[in-house]
Structure 1
Amino acid sequence: MNYNNILSEANNGITTITINRPNKLNALNKETIEELHDAFDEANADKNTKVIIVTGRGEKAFVAGADISEFADFDVKEGARLAAKGQELLFDFVENLSTPVMAAVNGFALGGGLELAMACHFRVASDNAKLGLPEVSLGVIPGYGGTQRLPQLVGKGRAMEMIMTAGMIDATTALNYGLVNHVTTQDELLPLCEKIAYKISNNSSVAIRGAIKAINANYKDGVDGFKVEIKQFGKCFGTEDFKEGTTAFLQKRKADFPGK
């Protein structure tokens, strides 16, 4: 599929999606959000893709926010629709993908950019990364899940401070907060992500899919995460991956998971 604002490349079981608007600091406009949805959907449907990495083009920004010019004149109803559609189309969609999604955060990850990174299953940052939710400085609040996911990741107090001050934190602080899993140099960012991706791809994609569902269930109102875990655990016993994994363990060899 051809895109105007992103690049998508599949190689050795890893699909790398790159937001390709460096002149706009990779800001998210309507078209980019729609293209990202399509690219994630396509990668998730590709049986050869074991891990998805999303990053931004250039050295300055992962995503420096949303394209404010597109919604500066919106009224109340239009603003609510903007948030609802964006969450459904991209941010919630990414969070609930069955394929692991890793954000390679290079440079600025602000507003919608940080919200996209937080929707991914985990994050790796370069040492020049700056992360924040500056929306209140524009008279609005985060609308793509930022008020929900940031407290889940860093705690209520830290999230309150970050959102209320509209400030940025550096990569080291993000690591200490648990907002990112690893920090490395910009040159080593994608190689490190790929190294982690290869470790993931050695394991059962079927089991990983079940683990994602069980972990996400803990953060959904009205859902008993323990029951979801029990159900997903039980389902594993009916898979070819379980048979191969246990057989390989007993035979003291490396498992070759069929992904079924």
Structure 2
Amino acid sequence: MDTSLLLIEKNDGIALLTINSPKTLNALNSTVLSELEGALYELDRDDAVKVVVLTGAGDKAFVAGADIKEMAAMNAFEGQQFGLKGQRVMLTMEKMRKPVIAAVNGYALGGGLELALACDFIYASEKARLGFPEVTLGIIPGFGGTQNLARRIGSARASELIFSGRMIEASKACTWGIVNEVFAPEELLAKAMETAAAIAAVGTLGVAYAKNAIVNGLNMGKEDGFRYEASLFGVLFATEDQKEGMGAFVEKRQAVFKGK
């Protein structure tokens, strides 16, 4: 699927999804959000896709934020609806069975950082700059940023970044736990694809259930999370993938998973 605003390349179980509007630094307007929501839905339904890598076109930005020109004319109701639209995209990504890796190649600000935080984890270029500048525009993050950042790094660090409106370098974002690893710009996408390939090679159902346990478990108390994990753990023993994976281990051969 290729569109003017999104590019999708599929190969060996990996879908590379690129937000393709470099002239606007890949800003998220209503059209981009709608196309992104539809693309994520279709990728989740595509059994040939095991993992998604999300990045931005060009070498300046992953996504530099939501479209300020579009937002400037909104009233209170329209602003709320725009926020809810962005949140639907983030929740679609979080609820996907397939893992999503963010390859942050430049600015990830406002809605761009919210998009990266909705991915399962983030790899960043040394050139990347991350932040929530919304308070400098008289608003707050509206696509789930206040919730996802606080859950990832704690309320104190999240408050510092959101209240100040400042950008931080990729190295600090890594130290704070926002970013998993930082790479040279020319290595970033290759490293993301390398990890994606490792994920695509293992049991599809196992990965999907592990994501389910992590994402949903974060919204539970610890004991409830343990019970939820155990229920998913047990269900997997009724699958072909579990029989194949353990059988292959015992027989000392490479497992061939079918996602069943």
TM-score (norm 2): 0.96
Q: Does 1:220 align with 2:219?
A: yes
Q: Partners in 2 of 1:115 and 1:147 — Cα distance?
A: 9
Cα deviation, 1:140-188, whole Å, max 9, x if unaligned, reads 0000000001111122111100001100110110111111111101111
Match of 1:138 in 2: 137
Q: Partners in 1 of 2:134 and 2:220 — Cα distance?
A: 26
- On the 8 A contact 2:14/2:49 being kept in 1, the answer is yes
Q: Partners in 1 of 2:108 and 2:228 — Cα distance?
A: 32
Shift of residue 225 of structure 1?
2.1
Match of 1:198 in 2: 197
- Aligned residues: CA RMSD: 1.3
Q: Partners in 1 of 2:38 and 2:58 — Cα distance?
A: 22
Q: Partners in 1 of 2:85 and 2:200 — Cα distance?
A: 32
- On the 8 A contact 1:6/1:18 being kept in 2, the answer is yes
Amino acid at match of 2:148: R
Match of 2:56 in 1: 56
Q: Partners in 2 of 1:181 and 1:40 — Cα distance?
A: 22
Match of 2:173 in 1: 174
Q: Does 1:154 align with 2:168?
A: no
Match of 1:107 in 2: 106
Amino acid at match of 1:246: M
Shift of residue 221 of structure 1?
5.9
- On the 8 A contact 1:214/1:228 being kept in 2, the answer is yes
- On the 8 A contact 2:30/2:82 being kept in 1, the answer is no
Amino acid at match of 2:240: E
Cα deviation, 1:105-164, whole Å, max 9, x if unaligned, reads 001000000000000011100110000011000000000000001111122111100001
Q: Partners in 2 of 1:197 and 1:18 — Cα distance?
A: 15
Q: Partners in 1 of 2:48 and 2:253 — Cα distance?
A: 23
Local SS of the residue matching 1:157: helix
Local SS of the residue matching 2:38: helix
1:229-248 matched pairs, under 5 angstroms: 229-248=229-248
Shift of residue 3 of structure 1?
1.8
Compared CA separation, residues 221 and 244, structure 1 to 2 (3 A) = closer
Match of 1:40 in 2: 40
Q: Partners in 2 of 1:95 and 1:199 — Cα distance?
A: 20
**Structure 2 residues without counterparts, runs of 5 or longer:** none
Local SS of the residue matching 1:187: coil
Shift of residue 227 of structure 1?
2.5
Shift of residue 59 of structure 1?
0.5
Which one is further off, 47-56 or 34-43?
Answer: 34-43
Amino acid at match of 1:52: V
Shift of residue 222 of structure 1?
7.9
Q: Does 1:94 align with 2:131?
A: no
Match of 2:73 in 1: 73
Local SS of the residue matching 2:186: helix
Match of 1:83 in 2: 83
Cα deviation, 1:70-101, whole Å, max 9, x if unaligned, reads 1212222222222122212x111101110010
Match of 1:165 in 2: 164
Match of 2:9 in 1: 9
TM-score (norm 1): 0.96
Local SS of the residue matching 2:17: strand
- On the 8 A contact 1:213/1:228 being kept in 2, the answer is no
Local SS of the residue matching 1:140: coil
Q: Partners in 2 of 1:32 and 1:4 — Cα distance?
A: 10
